[in-house]
Amino acid sequence: NDKSWSRVHEVNVREVVRVSELIVPHMKKRKYGKIVNIASIAARQGSSDLPHYSSTKAAVVSWT
């Protein structure tokens, strides 16, 4: 359902973006930094049982 999709997207994608947005200014100031995001094999090998999960993990890989 839509609520489930929204929740998974919020946790798996938006939070990754938010943390990046908070950290990047500090990295620029120091002229150094690395962000490592952890995804899942589901990002590359989708799951018909959990398409919302797979698609959000693919989004994290793309963001990274």
Chain segment 5-44, per-residue pLDDT in tens: 999 999 999 999 999 999 999 999 999 999 999 999 999 9
Number of domains in the chain: 1
Q: What is the pLDDT of residue 15?
A: 95
Distance CA 13, CA 34 (A): 18
- Does residue 47 carry a pLDDT above 90? no
Distance CA 35, CA 28 (A): 12
In this structure, how many other beta carbons lie within 10 angstroms of the beta carbon of residue 36? 5
Whole-structure pTM value: 0.81
Name the pLDDT band for 2 (thresholds 50, 70, 90). confident
Instruction: Give the residue numbers spanning the domain of 48.
Output: 2-63
